Amino acid sequence: MSTRSLNKVLLIGNLTRDPELKYTPQGTAVCQFGLATNREWTDSSGQKQEGAEFHQVVAWGKLAEICSQILSKGRKIYIEGRLQTKSWKSADGQERKSTEVVIEEMIALDAPKNMSNNNSQSDTYETYVPEVPGDQTVSPVDEVFTSSTVAPEPENEEKKGKKTDIADEIPF
């Protein structure tokens, strides 16, 4: 029996800042951003509590370029990747460590903020699955796929009490 290990991270959260895209001297794209994940629980006294965890996220290659193009602060995303810890010496000689999530897959779970609200009955989900060399169980994907799905429209003040005619939503 061989000894194997697993380093897999699955997160859903909101970006805490706009992505930063840079390139290595060899020309490889690298994109970094922050992600906040929230949780709620009830403590022993019955009080509802809330907390947040903040994660440093990095994407490489084509996924990095896509993240920098379609993501912005506040967007809700799903990411899949692995943990990686970096060590270095600071300018004052102190040993420093930082753990980040290196993502391999990303799905934007909400529509971009700058997207017009003309088609409010459907949300856009953008998915990127990177090429996996040598793995025959996963089909390589070289581009972003965008699909629309019908989702319930969130209530807001403008829509309350307003009836919609289904004929207005038919595109022909």
pLDDT single digits (tens) 38-96: 999 999 999 999 999 999 999 999 999 999 999 999 999 999 999 999 999 999 999 99
Closest by CA to 68, choosing from 30, 34, 102, is 30
Rg (CA), the chain: 20
Identity of the residue numbered 93: G
Quote the CA–CA distance of 104 and 101 in Å, as a whole number.
Answer: 9
How far, rounded to the nearest angstrom, does the alpha carbon of residue 126 sit from its chain's CA centroid? 10
9-117 is classed CATH 2.40.50.140 = yes
Residue with tokens 């692995």: 82
pLDDT digits (tens, 9 = 90+) for 87-119: 999 999 999 999 999 999 999 998 877 654 544
Closest by CA to 126, choosing from 82, 42, 67, is 67
Please report which helix (H) or strand (E) contains residue 167, including its range: none
